[in-house]
Structure 1
Amino acid sequence: MRVVIARCSVDYEGALQAHLPLATRLLMVKADGSVLVHSDGGSYKPLNWMAPPCHLTELAPDEAEREQGVTSVWLVRHAKRDDTLRVRVHEVLQESSYDLGADPGLVKDGVEAQLQQLLAEHVHTLGEGYRLVRREFPTAIGPVDLLCRDPGGGAVAVEVKRRGEIDGVEQLSRYLELLNRDPHLAPVAGVFAAQVIKPQARTLAADRGIRCVTLDYEALRGMDDAESRLF
């Protein structure tokens, strides 16, 4: 992993256009080729990024850029789309490279992992006609818990939590933003599934068009039949 702290401006061109004015930011280039631009805020979510397959080329600035104080230009092109990320570096404050080695992957809380497995086995809990495509669907920023298809064939990304909080909605939003860049999947809907979902998380999910589903762990395990209860 290459980590660079630099004063830079960033322009993204693709399905949408976005501009980040000159400021000090953290630039990360990962071994899988992804390039991420972070600020000192916003939690784990980058301000902008390019997911693989993509290629980074470092260029000399043109005359106009040199006059503006640009010392180098990072041009990141996506291999399958016309998307480009252009980082104009004015000053490098610090740069390091690290070999992180093979990652063993995320080890989830036992109940949370079991919830994911049970929901995959009983995906109809999300609604009649839903079918599972894959558990732990890989993306450049981590695996989506479940990728499903709804009755109409549309892709649905499902994030499973034991306790549904705002951070979980943010995580799913990040996956959705990335997945919706893939023309083979888009449009991708989102479902936030948890045993307990906090009101703030429900509000944020509704604002972002994400459906919330409350999971009954005991019913999913087959130890409790919710339909036969008196209370």
Structure 2
Amino acid sequence: MRLVIAQCTVDYVGRLTAHLPSARRLLLVKADGSVSIHADDRAYKPLNWMSPPCWTTENTEGPTPVWVVENKAGEQLRITLEDVEHDSVHELGVDPGLVKDGVEAHLQVLLAEHVELLGVGYTLVRREYMTAIGPVDLLCRDEQGRSVAVEVKRRGEIDGVEQLTRYLDLLNRDSLIAPVSGIFAAQQIKPQARTLATDRGIRCVTLDYDQMRGLDSDEYRLF
């Protein structure tokens, strides 16, 4: 991971345009190529970002260095570095991923055993299907044999949708299983997370954990 603290301006050019005026900010460049710009507030949420797959070109020929981050759709994040205060690179290694609590882990096991509850004709390919950025909870096939990635949460929030989105970006580059759609499954799904998932073409499924624990094989229901 590369960490840069700099006085900078940021312009996003694509389907929409956005401008961040000059200010001191933290720039994160991750091993997957993603770039995000952070202020000293807003918790984890960046001011702007470019998700992978994307590529960064550093133009140092002019008086002020400019980073141009471009994705496959031709959208650009243009970062003008007016003054660089800190620039360092750190090797973080492979992250083991989030350790699920007991309920969340059990939900995953139950859903894997009764994956047909996601839809008629659904079958399980594998639990904990590994990607370069961590394991997808369930990789399934629908009634037409198409690949489906399922992220299982106890509480469905925006973070979970973003996590599944990153998995889908990677999985859809694998010609052996693409195209891959997504299902976000949780006991509770916050309205904001549901809206974001729907906007990204991800289907939401609400799980009744108590009912799933107590029912026999063909009596499970998802609401």
Q: Name the structure 1 match of 2:36.
A: 37
Structure 1 residues 200 and 73, CA gap change in structure 2 (3 angstroms): closer
CA distance in 2, matches of 1:131, 1:107: 25
CA contact (8 A) 1:50 1:85 kept: no
Count of matched residue positions in the alignment of Structure 1 and Structure 2 = 213
Output the TM-score relative to the length of structure 1: 0.66
- Between the two proteins, what is the percent identity of the paired residues? 52
Q: Name the structure 2 match of 1:162.
A: 154
Structure 1 residues 209 and 43, CA gap change in structure 2 (3 angstroms): farther
CA distance in 2, matches of 1:210, 1:55: 26
CA contact (8 A) 1:4 1:26 kept: yes
Q: Give the deviation of 1:172 after TM superposition.
A: 0.9
Q: Which amino acid aligns with 1:37?
A: S
- Correspondences of 1:191-202 after superposition (within 5 Å): 191-197=183-189, 202=194
CA distance in 1, matches of 2:169, 2:93: 30
Q: Give the deviation of 1:187 after TM superposition.
A: 6.8
Q: Give the deviation of 1:129 after TM superposition.
A: 2.0
Q: Give the deviation of 1:152 after TM superposition.
A: 4.0
Residues 91-122 of structure 1, C-alpha deviations (whole Å, 9 max, x = no match): 22333333334433322112212222332332
Q: Name the structure 2 match of 1:146.
A: 138
Q: Give the deviation of 1:45 after TM superposition.
A: 4.2
Q: Name the structure 2 match of 1:179.
A: 168
Q: Which amino acid aligns with 1:103?
A: D
Q: Which amino acid aligns with 1:74?
A: W
Output the TM-score relative to the length of structure 2: 0.68
CA distance in 2, matches of 1:220, 1:186: 30
Superposed CA RMSD in Å reads 4.0
Q: Name the structure 2 match of 1:4.
A: 4
Counterpart pick for 2:104 among 97, 100, 112: 112
The residue matched to 2:91 in structure 1 has which SS? coil
CA distance in 2, matches of 1:199, 1:13: 29
CA distance in 2, matches of 1:122, 1:154: 18
Q: Give the deviation of 1:39 after TM superposition.
A: 2.7
CA distance in 2, matches of 1:50, 1:207: 16
CA contact (8 A) 1:57 1:76 kept: yes
Structure 1 residues 143 and 188, CA gap change in structure 2 (3 angstroms): same
Structure 1 residues 139 and 198, CA gap change in structure 2 (3 angstroms): same
CA contact (8 A) 2:161 2:197 kept: no
CA distance in 2, matches of 1:170, 1:190: 15
Unaligned runs of at least 5 residues, structure 1: none
